[in-house]
Amino acid sequence: MANLVKKCKEIPGHELFQYYDDDGTHHTIGSADVNNYIKGITGEDFTAKDFRAWAGSLNALCSFHELGEHGGITDCKRKVVNVLDSVAQKLGNTRTVCKKYYVHPTVIASYEKGTLWKYVPKNFDAGQEMNAQEKALLELLTTEDIAEVAA
């Protein structure tokens, strides 16, 4: 993969994702191309941002489970920052951007309120479409009412 990215970087221009076709014609690949591809293969109205938000929320849920329950307001704030920093590092973004765009507010709010522990990953069979962590996140997002959790 690194060699492929290196070859792409060697093509003149500012776009990282670009290629030459069999006829030698230069093409760039932009976000619209990626999003059209995603919509085409899923048959749904998904974009790359949806996948980043899913990954960010899933990483946050798993990180909160690894850190364990908080021991009060100060400890909670510290752990939320640690989790957001972890997600930011994985997504290659800032803590603020991850909190605003890529970690669903229900995940953070349910951790702060202490209801996150109802959504623990359960056993997973290899033939399933989602893994245990993804199932726990889906259950959290479809069960918890963000207004109720934040209250």
The CATH number, out of the four listed (1.10.150.130, 1.10.132.120, 3.40.50.300, 1.10.3720.10), of the domain defined by the range 48-150: 1.10.132.120
Query: Given pLDDT bands bounded at 50, 70 and 90, which one contains residue 12?
Result: low
**Domain spans in the chain, listed from the N-terminal domain onward:** 2-42, 48-150
More confident residue, 17 or 29: 29
pLDDT tens for 110-128 read 999 999 988 877 664 545 5
pLDDT higher than threshold 60 for residue 31? yes
Q: Which residue has the tokens 């953070």?
A: 108
Mean pLDDT on 32-57: 91
Residue 2 pLDDT: 64
Residue bearing tokens 């293969």: 41
**Which residue shows structure tokens 């941002």?**
49
**pTM above 0.85?**
no
Q: Give exposure, 74-94, as e/b (b: 16+ Cβ within 10 Å).
A: eebeebbeebbebbbeebebe
Give the 3-state secondary structure of residue 21.
coil
Q: Give the pLDDT confidence score for residue 87 in this predicted structure.
A: 96
pLDDT in tens, 70-104: 999 999 999 999 999 999 999 999 999 999 999 99
pLDDT above 90: percentage of residues in the chain: 49
**Tokens at residue 95, please?**
């803590």
**Residues 51, 42 contacting (CB under 8 angstroms):** no
Beta-bridge partners for 19: 27
CA atoms within 13 A on the CB side of 122: 7
Rounded distance, CA 80 to CA 91, Å?
16
Per-residue pLDDT for 69 more than 60? yes
pLDDT at position 84: 98
